[in-house]
């Protein structure tokens, strides 16, 4: 039996496993032993950019294939440039998006595509609007590594608040005596206010971690019911209230066109002078020049960032030389289970759609009703990049 992705699809259907290994070997034998006959083709073709993976380039896709082999679906790597990818993906049954932008040009050239699947929470590498216009579902994995990102956000909050990097440098450079005086300027954590911008799954998980520290919490998210915020001990607020009242502002907005540069100079000017800005969402949601100015001018005290507007940053990015910035390399989701979990989920989403069923997480769910896909979920579809 092909099991649903661990912890994510409790009610998911199970599929009968065929002898996939024998079928693959049979296809290989056909290609080798019968060169004059038409090669046996897989039932479904999943096209993906060559050599593009979050962690291991050139992997054998073994995790994805756990769900794809039983339905005779084969992952085919195509050149990672737009023109050649279009040629290779024209007749694909599905696109496994990674490595290169899946642009409107690519999407408009697809003739048989049933789904575009990403192995990430963010969907900014796919032109979702173009896919929606073509009636193609786009899937992501918003609930596979929530705990890791929440852990990382809480780590950045604490490291920034207690000036961990600064304290480490003092000890290593023989400035032991300077450590305590530096922290005498820092207030007690208990009773401080943590404000969330966007209150999706990760922010909710951060709230659970922050509550035992005695933090007062508030959140701005016009797309989330206020009762859900109260359930997490969080006070609903306007954006201005979050910015002006919070000692920590934690950014969780997804990378979507409507939130590009959501925070600009005027927003950082509203924040407390001693506040800390944390971002584990997407760098493009913040006008980085304005953030740099806020740090230089002392409008805010510190920034703790896992994401930047341009990644990796250029060597002359002022953020790299700032002592009031804590940085990590867009690694918040990484853990020992990261690669395995997300790849299995990708394979599972692909297998569902290729067999004519709704995916678990669709970022453009309006297209589902107009497709021939059938709904199997017994629960509401509270899914998407900001749910």
* Residue-by-residue DSSP string for 82-136: HHHHHHHHTT-SEEEE-SS-B-HHHHHH-SS--EEEESSS--TTB-HHHHHHTT-
In this predicted structure, what is the pLDDT of residue 51?
75
pLDDT digits (tens, 9 = 90+) for 175-215: 999 999 999 999 999 999 999 999 999 999 999 999 999 99
Question: Are 195 and 219 within 8 A, CB to CB?
Answer: yes
Choose the catalytic residue: 40, 311, 323, 340.
311
Phi, psi angles (nearest 5°) of residue 21: -60, -45
Who contacts 229 (Cβ-Cβ below 8 Å, separation ≥6)? 199, 219, 221, 235, 236
Residues 178 and 123: beta-carbon distance below 8 Å: no
The pLDDT score that the predictor gives to residue 6 is 40
Question: How far, in Å, CA of 58 to CA of 90, rounded?
Answer: 22
Where the chain has pLDDT below 50, the residues are 1-11, 14-24, 26, 28-38, 58, 383-387
What class is the 20-144+335-370 domain?
alpha beta
Q: Which of 216, 267, 282, 383 is catalytic?
A: 282
In the prediction, which pLDDT does 254 show? 87
Q: What is the edge-to-edge ordering of all strands in the sheet holding 94-97? A: 73-78, 44-49, 94-97, 115-118, 138-139
Q: What is the pLDDT of residues 255-289, one digit of tens each?
A: 888 899 999 999 999 999 999 999 999 999 999 99
Task: Give yes or no on whether 20-144+335-370 and 146-327 have one common fold.
Answer: yes
Which entry of 24, 162, 209, 330 is annotated as an active-site residue? 330
**Catalytic annotation present for 282:** yes
- Does 311 participate in catalysis according to the annotation? yes
- At residue 28, the pLDDT reads 45
- The full length of the chain comes to 387
Supply the pTM of this predicted model: 0.81
Query: CA–CA separation, 91 vs 97, rounded Å?
Result: 15
Please tell me the number of Cα atoms within 13 Å of 93 on its side-chain side: 20
CB 86 within 8 A of CB 42: no
Burial class for 225, CB neighbours closer than 10 Å (0-12, 13-18, 19+) = exposed
Rounded (to 5) percent helix, strand, coil in the chain: 40, 15, 45
Delimit the domains of the chain by residue range. 20-144+335-370, 146-327
In this prediction, residue 4 carries a pLDDT of 38
Domain 146-327 class, CATH top level: alpha beta
C-alpha distances out from residue 264 to 176, 292, 298, Å: 38, 11, 15
């Amino acid at each position: 039996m092909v099991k649903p992705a661990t912890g994510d699809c409790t009610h998911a259907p199970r599929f009968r496993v065929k002898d996939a290994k024998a079928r693959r070997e049979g296809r290989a034998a056909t290609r080798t032993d019968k060169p004059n006959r038409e090669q046996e083709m897989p039932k479904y073709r999943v096209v993906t950019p060559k050599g593009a993976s979050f962690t291991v380039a050139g992997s054998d896709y073994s995790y994805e294939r756990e769900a794809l082999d039983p339905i005779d679906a084969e992952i085919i790597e195509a050149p990672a440039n737009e023109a050649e990818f279009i040629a290779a993906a024209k007749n694909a049954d599905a696109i496994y998006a990674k490595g290169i932008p899946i642009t409107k040009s690519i999407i408009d050239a697809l003739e048989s595509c049933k789904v575009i699947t990403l192995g990430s929470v963010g969907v900014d590498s796919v032109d979702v609007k173009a896919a929606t216009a073509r009636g193609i579902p786009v899937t992501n994995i918003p609930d596979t590594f929530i705990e890791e990102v929440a852990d990382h956000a809480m780590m950045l909050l604490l490291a920034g608040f207690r000036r961990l990097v600064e304290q480490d440098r003092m000890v290593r450079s023989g400035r032991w005596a300077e450590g305590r005086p530096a922290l005498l300027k820092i207030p007690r954590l208990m009773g401080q206010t943590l404000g969330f911008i966007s209150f999706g799954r990760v922010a909710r998980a951060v709230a659970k971690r922050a509550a035992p520290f005695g933090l007062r919490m508030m959140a701005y998210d016009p797309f989330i019911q206020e009762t859900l915020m109260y359930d997490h001990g969080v006070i609903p607020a306007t954006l201005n209230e979050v910015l002006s009242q919070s000692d920590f502002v934690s950014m969780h907005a997804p990378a979507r066109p409507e939130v590009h540069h959501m925070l600009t100079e005027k927003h950082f000017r509203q924040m407390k002078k001693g506040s800390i800005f944390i971002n584990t969402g997407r760098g493009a949601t913040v006008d980085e020049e304005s953030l740099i100015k806020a740090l230089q001018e002392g409008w805010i005290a510190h920034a703790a960032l896992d994401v930047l507007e341009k990644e990796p940053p250029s060597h002359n990015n002022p953020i790299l030389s700032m002592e009031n910035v804590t940085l990590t390399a867009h690694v918040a989701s990484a853990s020992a289970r990261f690669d395995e979990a997300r790849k299995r989920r990708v394979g599972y989403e692909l297998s569902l759609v290729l067999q004519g069923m709704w995916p678990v997480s669709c970022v453009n769910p309006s297209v589902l009703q107009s497709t021939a896909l059938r709904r199997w979920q017994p629960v509401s579809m509270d899914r998407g990049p900001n749910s």
